[in-house]
Amino acid sequence: MQLRHDQLANHLSKSGGALKPLYTLHGDEALLVQEAGDAIRAAAKAAGYTERQVHTVSGAYFDWSSLLGAASEMSLFGDRQFIDIRIPSGKPGKEGSQALQQYCETAAGNDGVITLVTLPRLDKTQLSSAWFTALDGVGVSVRCDPIERQQLPLWIAQRLAAQGQQVEPGEAGQRTLAFFADRVEGNLLAAHQEIVKLGLLHPPGTLTIEQIEEAVVDVARFNVFKLSEAVLSGQIERTLRMIDGLQAEGEAAVLVHWALAEDILGLYRARTALDGGKPLPMVLREQRVWGPRERLFERILPQAKAPALARLVANASTVDGIVKGLRHPQWPDDAWEALRRLALQLAQTARPAGATR
């Protein structure tokens, strides 16, 4: 049984103490994993599972037999047990895979034990593995993915509401939430801390933009993959802010150029293939474009023309030289200034028709 992170609280409240025998958390958003784990542990404790064991699978020499024994043995004090299994690598190995499957068979029939398994973000192969299928089949799995930028204002508003605070109604409030989101994007733990800080600084009620501007620290964190999404979405202001952030964080200019050049070359090759008569789905498969990038390419390609994309390819080649120390008379000598110009050119090409920002 699979649940979204935001469905877990409702599931636990409706369980009435009849919890599932096993819960699996997986994902790379540390705050959400921590909060989900805390909620499951609290529900288990309230239901009488008071004796707790923690098993951390680290290295190739973990004693899986001790874990298998824990699932079947009775507590020395007659208490029901909560077994906390942590696999930081997300790779239990062949022996671990077999042990987890056997563990699930035992745990399913033992109502004196509730198990929590914590994993990092898993790829498609791991999610379809026999051991994960066994974990999911005997209980509940919860995926804890990062909150994306477009979801962040709502997430912030919900967290503020939980502590009795809200922003101003209407457009003013939306601008306030957008400002807040810009300050904390990519750093959910810091976002949570900033929200808690507002609860300490101000009483319940409506927060003004001035109060939030004064209190919320700029703790945004970016990576080149999120930069790619911003550029291909035509979000010019966000693109510039992300490049400034990447530069401030010490990211390598060559890596930022690689991300931009990959998108430019991908669009150019796809446009050329479309002009050659190939259907769009085939083109995207051949170019290995999928996920959010696929949806962005589907929107951009019908409006992008081959000559404009060819100029971008030439400019990307020029910036490649600048990043490596070569000069060009028509471009800035500074690598980051050149990257900003190239990113703006791509963002303007990718900008949805009718966009004003």
pLDDT in tens, 297-324: 999 999 999 999 999 999 999 999 999 9
298 half-sphere exposure, CB direction, 13 A CA radius: 11
Would you place residue 71 in the very low, low, confident or very high pLDDT band (cuts 50, 70, 90)?
Answer: low
Question: Closest Cα to residue 152, out of 238, 82, 76?
Answer: 238
The answer for residues whose C-beta is within 8 angstroms of residue 297's C-beta and 6 or more apart is 232, 266, 267, 270, 284, 287, 289
Q: Is the pLDDT reported for residue 17 higher than 80?
A: no
Within a 10 A sphere around the Cβ of 240, how many other Cβ atoms?
15
Q: Is the pLDDT reported for residue 168 higher than 70?
A: yes
As a whole number of angstroms, the distance between CA 61 and CA 350 comes to 51
Q: Is the pLDDT reported for residue 73 higher than 70?
A: no
pLDDT for 355: 60
Name residue 11's amino acid. Answer: H
Q: Rounded mean pLDDT of the chain?
A: 89
Report the chain's terminal Cα–Cα distance, integer Å. 42
As a whole number of angstroms, the distance between CA 214 and CA 203 comes to 16
Share of the chain above pLDDT 70, in %: 95
Least confident window among 70-74, 262-266, 318-322: 70-74
Domains and CATH numbers, the chain: 2-143 (3.40.50.300), 149-215 (1.10.8.60), 224-350 (1.20.272.10)
Would you place residue 6 in the very low, low, confident or very high pLDDT band (cuts 50, 70, 90)?
Answer: confident
Would you place residue 61 in the very low, low, confident or very high pLDDT band (cuts 50, 70, 90)?
Answer: confident
Segment 219-224 shows an average pLDDT of 81
Segment 327-346 shows an average pLDDT of 95
pLDDT for 356: 53
Rounded to the nearest 5°, which phi and psi values hold at 44?
Answer: -65, -40
Q: What share of the chain is helix, strand, coil (3-state, %, to 5)?
A: 60, 10, 30
Within a 10 A sphere around the Cβ of 186, how many other Cβ atoms?
19
Contact present, 260 and 267 (Cβ < 8 Å):
no
Contact present, 24 and 139 (Cβ < 8 Å):
yes
Answering whether pTM is above 0.85, one says: no
Most confident listed range (67-71, 119-123, 351-355) = 119-123
Strands (E), 80-148: 81-86, 113-119, 140-143
Segment 126-144 shows an average pLDDT of 92
Q: Is the pLDDT reported for residue 75 higher than 70?
A: no
CA distances, 188 to each of 82, 102, 235, 258, 301 (Å): 28, 36, 21, 27, 33
Q: Is the pLDDT reported for residue 106 higher than 80?
A: yes
Give, for 53, the enclosing helix (H) or strand (E): strand 51-56
pLDDT for 97: 92
